[in-house]
Amino acid sequence: MAGRNHLTIPGPTNVPHEILSAMHLPMEDHRSPIFPDLLKPVLEDLKKVFRTETGQAFVFPATGTAGWEIALTNTLNPGDKVLIYRFGQFSHLWMSMAQRLGFEVEMHEVEWGKGIPVDALEARLLADSEQEIKAVLATHNETATGVTSDIAGVRKAMDAAQHSALLFVDGVSSIASMEFNMEEWGIDAAVSGSQKGFMLPAGLAILAFSQKALTAAKTGTYPRCFFDLKDQIATNKDGYTPYTPSTPMIHGLRKSLDILLEEGMKNVYARHYRLAEGTRLAIKAWGLELCAQAGFESDTVSAVMVPEGKDAKEILSVAFNKYNISLGAGLTEVAGKLFRIGHMGDMNDVSMLGSIAGVEMALLDCGYDIQAGSGVAAALEYYRETA
The per-residue pLDDT for range 289-322, each reduced to its tens digit, is: 999 999 999 999 999 999 999 999 999 999 999 9
- According to DSSP, the β-strands at 325-329 and 6-8 are parallel
Q: Identify the CATH class of 17-262.
A: alpha beta
Dump pLDDT digits (tens) for 173-198. 999 999 999 999 999 999 999 999 99
Dump pLDDT digits (tens) for 21-63. 999 999 999 999 999 999 999 999 999 999 999 999 999 999 9
Q: CA 176 to CA 197: how far, in whole Å?
A: 5
pLDDT class for 281, splitting at 50, 70, 90?
very high
Name the average pLDDT for the chain.
Answer: 97
Residue 2 has pLDDT above 90, yes or no: no
Q: CA 31 to CA 20: how far, in whole Å?
A: 24
Residue 1 has pLDDT above 90, yes or no: no
pLDDT class for 225, splitting at 50, 70, 90?
very high
Give the pLDDT of residue 196.
98
Residue 261 has pLDDT above 80, yes or no: yes
- The pLDDT of 57-70, averaged and rounded, is 98
Buried b vs exposed e over 120-139: b needs ≥16 C-beta within 10 Å?
ebbebbeebeeeebbbbbbb
Buried b vs exposed e over 193-215: b needs ≥16 C-beta within 10 Å?
bbbbbbbbbebbbbbbbbebbbe
CB of 236 within 8 A of CB of 39? yes
Query: For the whole model, what pTM was predicted?
Result: 0.97
Q: CA 264 to CA 277: how far, in whole Å?
A: 20
Burial of 363 (0-12, 13-18, 19+ CB in 10 A): buried
> What are the structural domain ranges in the chain?
6-12+265-386, 17-262
CATH 3.90.1150.10 matches 6-12+265-386: yes
- The pLDDT of 235-260, averaged and rounded, is 98
pLDDT class for 4, splitting at 50, 70, 90?
confident
pLDDT class for 124, splitting at 50, 70, 90?
very high
Give the pLDDT of residue 386.
96
